[in-house]
Chain A
Amino acid sequence: MAFFLEVLIGGLMAGVMYSLVALGFVLIFKASGVFNFAQGAMVLFAGLFFVGFTELGVPMWLALLLTVGVMVLLAGVIERLVLRHLVNQEGIILFMATIGVSFFLDGFGQLIWGSNVRQLDIGIPTDPIFLMDGEILIQSFDLWAALVAGTLLAALVVFQKTRTGRALRAVADDHQAAQSVGIPLNVIWIIVWAIAGLVALVAGVMWGSKLGVQPAIVSLALKALPVLILGGFTSIPGAILGGLIIGAGEKLAEVYIGPLFGGGIENWFAYVLALGFLLIRPQGLFGEKLIERV
C-alpha cells in the first residue's frame, strides 16, 4: 500500500512536469487555434538563453529578466514574420509553419550556445522527504515543481479575468468578431506567444535543472501530447489535470501492469489512456463541446 502511494505521488509529480510543457501548447491553441509544434523548441531555446546568461556571470534574476526579454522579442518576430502572413489559413498550414519555426529555433539556439549539456542549478533542494516512517519517499524537487506549476496556473487563471485576458478569449472565439469590436489581433498574438514563451522558460528551467539543459529537451513535447489531448486543447486547468492523470496512470501501469509484458510500457500506455478517455469524451476532458452543422 505504501508503495502504491509512493508510485501514485511520484506519478502525479511527474505529471506536473509534463503539464508545464503542455500549458504552453494550450495557451497558443486557445488564443489562435494554432497547434504550436515549436513549443518543445521554445522550451530548449528559453532554457539555453537562461543558462547561457548565468554562465556569462549574469546574476540569476537578471538572467531571468533578460531571457524574458528574449522570449518577448521572439514572440514579436514570430508574429511579424510568420503569423501575420498566414492569417486565415487552415490549422494544418499554421501547424506546419510552427514546424518551420521549430527547426529554426533548434538550429539558432544551438548555433549561439552550442549543443553541449549545461548543468543548471537554481538552488532547488533535491533531498528526499520520507513519510510514514520512511515508507514513502517524495522528492523535494517535485514539491517545488508542483508549487511552481500551481503558481503558474493561478497566475494564468487570474490573467484570464483581466481585460487583456478577456480580449484573448474573444480572439479565440472568433477572429473576425474580435477584430470588429476593436481588438488588435496582432498585439494579442504577440501577447499570447510571449506568455507561451514565459511558460516555456519556466518549463525549460524546471526540466533543465532536472536533466541539464540539452538538445534532448525538444522531445519533451512528445510527453506533453497525451496530456494535452486528454485535458483538451483549450483548457488551462485541463492541462494540469490531464498531466496528473497521465502521470499517475502511466507510472502505476508501468509498475503494476508493465511486468506482465516485460516492462517499458509507459510511453504507449499514456496514449492508450488518453485514447480511452477520448472515446468517451471526444473533445478531451475539458475541451469545448463540438457543435457540427452542415
Chain B
Amino acid sequence: MLYRESGQYKTTYGADQAIFTIPQDRVFFALLMLVAFVGIPLVATNYVYTALLIPFLCLSLAALGLNILTGYCGQLSLGTGAFMGVGAVAAWNLATRVPDLNLVVIFILAGLVTAAVGMFFGLPSLRIKGFYLAVATLAAQFFLPWLFVKWGWLTNHAASGVITVPPLTLLGWSIDTPMEKYLFALGVVAILALGAKNMIRSNPGRQWMAIRDMDIAAEIIGIRPVVAKLTAFAVSSFYIGVAGALYLFVYLGSAEPDGFGINLSFQALFMIIIGGLGSILGSFLGAFFILLLPIFLTRVPPMLGFDLSTALVSHLEFMVFGALIVFFLIVEPHGLARLWQITKEKLRVWPFPY
C-alpha cells in the first residue's frame, strides 16, 4: 500500500539510474542516515559506542571489502585479517613518522599500501581457483603478521611489537570522545559504502560479476581477467586496509600484530556469507549477526532471570549461535540481505499478494 512503484514513471536516464529509484526507499534511507548521524548520538551511551557500534562499523567495512572480492568477483579470500593489519601498520607508520599529515590522507595512503599488497597476493588468482585460491590468501594471512613481528622497523622496534596510536585530529577537530570516534568512523564507512555501491553499478563492478558468474565466458566476451581480478583485489584490499586502520585508530588504540590473525579473516568471511554474498547491505547485516548477536545471546539468560554460570552461558552461546547459522542458511541460503529483499518484494504487493 505504502510501498510500491506503480505509477512512478522515470522520465530521465538519471532517474532510471539512481541508487534508490523508489521515493519510499529514498525517504527510508534518509531517515536511516538521520538516525545514524543524529539520532544515535542523542541517546547512545559510551558502552554502546565503544563496545558495539564502533567495532561494528570497522568490521562492516572489512566485510564490505571482502564482499567486493568474494561476493562480487568470486575470489575466495582468507587474508582479511592480515590485510587489515597491513592497513593498520601502514597508517600507524604514516601517523608517527610523518607528523602533521592529515588524517584523511593517512587513511587513503594506508588503503593504497594495502591495495598494493593485496594485488601482489592476488596474482596467484590468475591461475588458481575456488577453495584452492584460499591457500594464496592464507599464505598472506600467516606471512604478514609474521613480518610485522620480525621486521622491527615496522613497529619502531618496540620491545613487544605493540603499536600505540597517537591522538587523532582532523582539521583542528580533536577526535577523542567515543561519540566523535563513532561519527568519524560512520562518516568514513558511509562514504566508502557509497563509493562501493557506485563502483558495483558501473563498469568495474559488472566486469567483476561477469568473472564471478563464469570467468571463461567473461573472457570470451572481452573482459580481461587479469585486469578485472586484480582491480577487485586492489579495491577490496583498499577497503580492508582502511577498515584495519579504523580498527586500530578508532577502536583499539593499541594493538599487537598477532591481533590481526586468522580469526578476523574467518569472522569477515562468516559475515559476508551470513549477510549475503554480493550485497552491500549484506555486509552490514552479516557484521551485525556475527559480531553483535553473540553478545546479546550471553545477555539473554540473565535478563530472563536465569542465574547460570559464565561457562555454561558461553557454551550455550556457541550452541545457539551455531544452530542459528544453520537455521538461517536453511531458511534463506542467500543470506540476510536476501531475506530483506524478499520482505521488500512482499511489501510491494501487499495487501494483495497475487
Is A–B contact present in the complex under a CB 8 A cutoff? yes
CB–CB B318/A275 < 8 A: no
B38 on the A face (CB < 8 A)? no
CB–CB B138/A271 < 8 A: yes
Q: Which of A101, A110, A268 contacts B326 (CB 8 A)?
A: A101
Complex Cα distance A268/B262, Å?
12
* Surface stretch bound by A, among B4-12, B17-25, B128-136, B186-194: B128-136
CB–CB B220/A294 < 8 A: yes
* Surface stretch bound by A, among B106-114, B139-147, B158-166: B139-147
| Interface residue ranges of A103-125 to B (CB < 8 Å) | 103-108, 110-111, 114-115
Q: Which of A108, A267, A294 contacts B216 (CB 8 A)?
A: A294
| Interface residue ranges of A198-244 to B (CB < 8 Å) | 222, 225-226, 229, 233
| Neighbouring A residues of B220 by C-beta, 8 Å | 294
* Surface stretch bound by A, among B94-102, B195-203, B241-249, B270-278: B270-278
Complex Cα distance A106/B321, Å?
11
| Interface residue ranges of B241-277 to A (CB < 8 Å) | 262, 270, 273-274, 277
Provide the A133-177 mask, 1 if CB < 8 A to any CB of B, else 0.
Answer: 000000000000000000000000000000000000000000000
CB–CB A262/B138 < 8 A: no
A185 on the B face (CB < 8 A)? no
Complex Cα distance A56/B172, Å?
67
| Neighbouring B residues of A261 by C-beta, 8 Å | 150
Q: How many A-B residue pairs have CB under 8 A?
A: 133
| Interface residue ranges of B202-245 to A (CB < 8 Å) | 214, 216-217, 220
| Neighbouring B residues of A233 by C-beta, 8 Å | 131
CB–CB A265/B131 < 8 A: no
| Interface residue ranges of B274-326 to A (CB < 8 Å) | 274, 277, 311-312, 314-319, 321-326
CB–CB B146/A92 < 8 A: no
| Neighbouring B residues of A290 by C-beta, 8 Å | 129
CB–CB B322/A104 < 8 A: yes
CB–CB B128/A97 < 8 A: no
Q: Contacts A100-B329, A264-B146: A107 and B315 contacting too (C-beta < 8 A)?
A: yes
Give the distance to chain A from B152, nearest Cβ to Cβ, in Å: 10
* Surface stretch bound by B, among A4-12, A42-50, A81-89: A81-89
CB–CB A93/B142 < 8 A: no
Q: Which of A111, A229, A262, A267 contacts B132 (CB 8 A)?
A: A229
CB–CB B316/A107 < 8 A: yes
CB–CB A275/B135 < 8 A: yes
B124 on the A face (CB < 8 A)? yes
Complex Cα distance A169/B139, Å?
32
Interface size grouping (class) on chain B: 35 or more
A54 on the B face (CB < 8 A)? no
> B78 — nearest CB in chain A belongs to which residue?
A225
CB–CB A274/B135 < 8 A: yes
B41 on the A face (CB < 8 A)? no
| Neighbouring B residues of A294 by C-beta, 8 Å | 214, 216-217, 220
Give the distance to chain B from A126, nearest Cβ to Cβ, in Å: 30
CB–CB B273/A92 < 8 A: yes
Complex Cα distance A102/B325, Å?
10
Interface SS of chain B:
helix
CB–CB A100/B326 < 8 A: yes
B1 on the A face (CB < 8 A)? no
B2 on the A face (CB < 8 A)? no
> B266 — nearest CB in chain A belongs to which residue?
A99
CB–CB B132/A93 < 8 A: no
Complex Cα distance A283/B127, Å?
10
Give the distance to chain B from A256, nearest Cβ to Cβ, in Å: 17
Give the distance to chain B from A278, nearest Cβ to Cβ, in Å: 5
A96 on the B face (CB < 8 A)? yes
Q: Most chain-A Cβ atoms within 10 A of its Cβ — which of B134, B318, B323, B324?
A: B318
| Neighbouring B residues of A99 by C-beta, 8 Å | 270, 322, 325
Q: Contacts A265-B146, A278-B128: A271 and B216 contacting too (C-beta < 8 A)?
A: no
| Neighbouring A residues of B146 by C-beta, 8 Å | 264-265, 267-268
Q: Which of B135, B274, B312, B333 contacts A229 (CB 8 A)?
A: B135
CB–CB B138/A96 < 8 A: no
A279 on the B face (CB < 8 A)? yes
Complex Cα distance A95/B138, Å?
17
> B136 — nearest CB in chain A belongs to which residue?
A275
Give the distance to chain A from B212, nearest Cβ to Cβ, in Å: 12
B171 on the A face (CB < 8 A)? no
Give the distance to chain B from A44, nearest Cβ to Cβ, in Å: 12
Q: Contacts A108-B319, A264-B146, A271-B142: A86 and B329 contacting too (C-beta < 8 A)?
A: yes
25 contacts between A and B (CB under 8 A): A35-B131, A81-B326, A85-B330, A86-B329, A93-B329, A93-B334, A97-B330, A100-B321, A102-B322, A104-B322, A107-B319, A108-B318, A110-B315, A226-B135, A229-B131, A229-B134, A267-B142, A268-B142, A271-B135, A272-B143, A275-B139, A278-B127, A278-B136, A294-B214, A294-B217
Chain B residues engaging chain A, CB cutoff 8 angstroms: 76, 124, 127-132, 134-136, 138-139, 142-143, 146, 149-150, 214, 216-217, 220, 262, 270, 273-274, 277, 311-312, 314-319, 321-326, 329-330, 333-334
Given contacts A81-B326, A104-B318, A264-B146, 10 further A-B contacts (CB under 8 A): A91-B130, A93-B333, A96-B274, A97-B326, A105-B322, A107-B322, A108-B318, A271-B143, A274-B139, A278-B127
